[in-house]
Each structure stands twice: as C-alpha cells, then as structure tokens.
Amino acid sequence: MPTILEVTNLKTRFNTPEGIIYAVNGISYHLKEGETLAMVGESGCGKSVSMMSILGLIPIPPGKIVSGSAVYWGKDLLQMSERELTLVRGKEIAMIFQDPMTSLNPVLTVKRQITESLQVHTGMKPQQAVERAGQLLEMVGIPDARRRLTAYPHQFSGGMRQRVMIAMALACNPSVLIADEPTTALDVTIQAQIVELVIRMRQQMSMAMIWITHDLGVVAGLAERVMVMYAGFIVEKASVDDLYEDPRHPYTLALLSALPRADRRREHRLKSIPGAPPNLLTEPKGCPFAPRCELAFERCRIENPALDMVAAGHEIACWVDVRTGESR
C-alpha cells in the first residue's frame, strides 16, 4: 500500500510564563493508505498536540513548530498557507475531537454545522447539503435523523453528540480520519458502540485512520500498527500483534501490566507505574522514562536512546533488553 502521510522529526514547543514546554520532541512515523495506526500514551504525552500541529490547529503564539515535515500525498502540510490548509482540513484529513460538547458550536443547529463544510468543500447547493446531512446522521445511527437536524448540541446526549461529530468528520469522504480519544467522556456501553461505528465507517469509506488513545484495551481490535508515546517522544513502534505478544519497552510493559485482563485470576493485582509524569518544562537529557523505570541504569539518565529496530517492523527507544534486564 502507498504511504499517504509521512511525518518526520516533528517538534512542537509552547512559550509560557513559566518557561518553554517541550510538547513534541522529534517524532517520525508514516501512515499507509487504508490502514489504522494507533497512537497510545498517558495524558499530556503529546498525542493530540502532534496531530493538531500537522493540521495547523495549534495557536501560534504561544505554540511554535520548531522543525519537521508532514508530507501528505507529496505536499508538506507544515509549509502550506492557512488558505491551502483550509482546503485540506475537513475534506482530505478530518478529525473527531475528544469532547463533542466543546467542539460543537452551542448556538448553531446541527444542520448548519454539517452543511457548512459540505458547501465549502464540495460546492453543494443548500438543499443538497441538507439532504446529505440527513443521510449522514442516519448513517451514524441517530434515530429520526431528518427531524433532529434542526436540534442544537445541548439537545443530544453525549453519545449522540459524538455521533454528530463523526457525521461531520465523514461529510466530505476524507482520505485520513484522525480520532482523538473520541470515547473518553462516554460510559462503557456507548464507548463500544462508538468504536464499532468508527470501524464500520472506516471500512465502508476505505479511509486511513489514526486513533489516539490512552487505553491499550481499545487498540487490540482496532489498529494494525501501534506507536507508544511518552513525554513527547515515540518510545515503541510495532504491529498490534507484536506489541501485545512481545512488548520491548519498559513503559509499554508497564501500561500492559496496568490493564485488566479476563484471563487473569481474580486475586491478580494490577500494577501501577511508580513516580509521576515528567515535567515538560525541562528538556530531557536522558531517557524521559528513566526516573520511573525499574530497569534504568546510569546511561539511561544521561543519554536519550534513538528508535532502534529490534525485529522486523518493531522499533524501541531503550538501552535495556527487558527480557534479560541487561543493557542492549
């Protein structure tokens, strides 16, 4: 499959009164046509900022993209003007945001919010756009969809608001869908419905997808490849099967150990990760996970490892072999 998006050495900083926040620290990855890539890591590790950076959605200032490229079908998104990016966002690359209540405009009807992108990107006439908006709401499972077009966001439940967000994202048949933790604010039953809906829509529309999450449990049945992020760095890249069967970075192991599993005995205790997340106001010199890592040794604290291939399609940024506890 051809590569649809190639991100190289992306670095994003934020200038604040307290100092510079090192949000994204030189990450590189690619996305192939039609595949699903999961980006996993705890809150604040740079997952959302990295996606918003390539779409030109971070506020500048205080944000600043220090370096990198994001090549989409041969064109660097980071070098595009705002006008050029506006033509890509929503039409070619769409995003489902984390909280639909703050992402939807509370004073505009659902009809207005969906039809706007259809008219801007596809040139549909108003009546055509309304007809298409009704079809989209039906497609994402909103009952009595035509009538609900005239409703406002507060008149929908949390799960239904997220379905509206998905309908908006899919309106122009994008090539890439970025889903930024779309199930975080929902209860477990609705989460499962939304994940199933997104998977079905992706298959029907043959899109590539980047799924951002902190929940490794969701990833197993969703993605082909996984990137694990920590403190603005990618610390492990692997296929889903390799990541679960043979995790090679201490942080990935810790995340998996904290995950409830049906095949474990009831008395099996989940492990927590010791320590606290790193202070992103300080540029890391050594491995950012070293202060919380049980396997860390002196080199880990003074030198940050680059991603290194340990098996076909499997890369880690670590000085230690987690299987033996010895340096690699």
- Helix runs in the chain, H state only: 47-54, 82-88, 100-103, 110-122, 126-139, 145-148, 158-170, 188-205, 216-219, 240-245, 250-257, 298-302
Report residue 239's pLDDT band, with 50, 70 and 90 as the boundaries.
very high
Q: What is the mean pLDDT of the chain?
A: 85
pTM of this prediction? 0.86
Structure tokens at 104: 């939807």
Q: Which residue is associated with the tokens 């951002």?
A: 212
Per-residue b/e over 239-263, b at no fewer than 16 CB within 10 Å?
A: bbebbbeebbbbbbbbbeeeeeeee
pLDDT tens track for 10-66: 999 999 888 899 999 999 999 998 899 999 988 888 888 999 899 888 888 898 999
Digit-coded pLDDT (tens) for 200-223: 888 887 889 999 988 777 788 788
Contact residues for 45 (Cβ-Cβ < 8 A; gap 6+): 229, 230, 231, 232, 277
Q: Could you tell me the CA-to-CA distances from 326 to 5, 100, 296, 309, 312 in Å, in that order? A: 36, 46, 10, 17, 21
Gyration radius of the chain's alpha carbons: 21
Q: What percent of the chain has pLDDT over 90?
A: 20
Q: Nearest Cα to 50, choosing from 32, 29, 76?
A: 29
DSSP string, 38-72: EEE--TTSSHHHHHHHHTT-S-TTTEEEEEEEEEE
Listed in sequence order, the residues at least 6 apart from 246 whose beta carbon sits closer than 8 Å to its beta carbon are 311, 314
Whether residue 253 is predicted with pLDDT greater than 80 in this model: the reply is yes
Instruction: Give the relative orientation of helices 110-122 and 158-170 as an angle to the nearest 10 degrees.
Output: 10
Torsion, Cα 297 302 308 310, to 10 degrees, reads 0
Span 157-170, pLDDT tens digits: 878 888 888 888 88
Estimate the crossing angle of helix 110-122 against helix 126-139, to 10 degrees.
120
Residue 12: which H helix or E strand, with range?
Answer: strand 3-16
